[in-house]
Amino acid sequence: MDRIVVGVDGSEPSIEALRWAAVEGQRWDALVEAAIVVTYPVTPVGVLGPMIETAELEANAAAILDGSLRVAFPADPMRSRIHRDVLVGGPAEALCHHAKGADLLVVGSRGRGGFRGLLLGSVSNQCAQHAPCPVVIIRSTHAPSEV
């Protein structure tokens, strides 16, 4: 195994997926790429260009990714071994595209969005169906908090 891609969105399941991928990456001496996806807001007239700076959205996503790495590995040098990627597009589509050539795609079972009560989130479900490589879906060990 040479390359593992893991989808991160800051949610607890994605952080658990990040931890799992890091352990597997170490076990197989594989490159681990933590990827977060930026989806630009769309209105009936198109993408919100001048209202929301794309660089700001990407910087916020990078901050979420870095924060997730700090939560996953608070004092662990493993953090520095993980490559970081900020992707643009729909989450499942971008992750599947980024996983081309990877040996494994790892995602959490539930992310930040979606509907409560579903066994799998829409992104993990789409990745399981469309990824170009095997997919591991990590279920959270914590019950989701009520909103």
pLDDT the model gives residue 78: 79
65, 8 contact by CB (below 8 A) = yes
Per-residue model confidence as pLDDT tens digits over 10-26 = 999 999 999 999 999 99
**What is the rounded average pLDDT of the residues 93-97?**
97
Collapsing DSSP states into helix, strand and coil, what is residue 132? coil
Listed range (9-23, 51-65, 98-112) with the worst mean pLDDT: 51-65
With vertex at residue 147, the alpha carbon angle to CA 84 and CA 5, rounded to the nearest 5 degrees, is: 20
Distance between CA atoms of 3 and 68, rounded to whole angstroms?
20
**What is the rounded average pLDDT of the residues 104-121?**
66
9, 63 contact by CB (below 8 A) = no
Q: Who has greater pLDDT, 77 or 44?
A: 77
| CB-side neighbour CA atoms (13 Å) of 67 | 10
